[in-house]
Structure formats: C-alpha cells, structure tokens
Homo-oligomer: A and B are copies of this chain.
C-alpha cells in the first residue's frame, strides 16, 4: 500500500560520450556512468511532467541518494551515442528507486544500475513527498 512495486513508464534519453569522460584506458571512466544515471533521472522526471529543478527550488525537496549500484558490461567509448533508459523500480512517500539500462548505438548493453533516494526537506531532514508529486513517481496512495 502506497508502494509502487512496478512501473510501466520508461524513458530514454540520448547523448554522446564526451572526451572528458574517457580515461587513459581509452574507455569511459567508471564514475561517469553515475552521472549518466543522473541525466536519465532528470529526463525521466521531465518526461512525466515534473522538472526536478522545480522540486528543489519551489518545494525545497531534495532527492538524496542513499545507494548506487552499477554493473559494467561493455565499454563505452568517446563519441559513442549512449541511450539511457530510466524507470522507477519502487516508490513511496519516503523514497524512490530508479532503474537504468545503458546502450550504445549498436544496441550493445553497456551497463545496468539502480539508485535509491530519500526525500529531504529543510535542514536535510527526511520528509514525505508532497502529494502533488505522487503521481509523477507512480505513488498511488
């Protein structure tokens, strides 16, 4: 109840690998996949009608990450076009878990991952997500 265990909506966002994101191994440095997850989250939110920036600015609600996990399957390379598919794995008034799948333009799976976040309010204290945002996260009650 109040938990959204499965969510149909997925969103795909695309961008090219930056030179800055590579390392001397000739592939993308591993921490940058977490930056790509952030892009996926931001664009997921925009796609369902909510701007993450407004959540922070207008309502003072932050999504603070408490857990991040990434499985690396193939190397991403400079100038590859990467597609990040993002969805909500689970959400309630207190927290939300996003899932991610990253592919290159040859449809090769690069990585999969999840990030888990809690909602924080003023003073970085946990808060319940304001009701007007529930539907965006697929929280039903």
Cβ of A141 under 8 Å from chain B: no
Number of copies: 4
What B residues does A115 contact at CB under 8 A? 30
Spot the interface stretch: A63-71, A87-95, A132-140: A63-71
What B residues does A16 contact at CB under 8 A? 42
What B residues does A38 contact at CB under 8 A? 18-20, 31
Given contacts A19-B29, A20-B23, A29-B19, contact A67 B62 (CB under 8 A): no
* A53→B78 contact, CB < 8 A: yes
In this complex, the interface size class of chain A, counting residues with CB under 8 Å from chain B, is 35 or more
What B residues does A27 contact at CB under 8 A? 24
A69: nearest residue on chain B (CB-CB)? B69
A65: nearest residue on chain B (CB-CB)? B30
A16: nearest residue on chain B (CB-CB)? B42
Distance in angstroms between the alpha carbons of A69 and B63 in the assembled complex:
18
* B52→A35 contact, CB < 8 A: no
How far in angstroms is the closest Cβ of chain B from A52? Answer: 7
Other than the known A24-B25, A31-B32, A67-B69, what 19 A-B pairs have Cβ atoms closer than 8 Å?
A: A18-B38, A18-B39, A20-B23, A20-B38, A24-B78, A30-B65, A30-B115, A31-B31, A31-B34, A34-B34, A42-B79, A51-B79, A64-B72, A67-B70, A67-B71, A68-B68, A68-B69, A68-B72, A75-B124
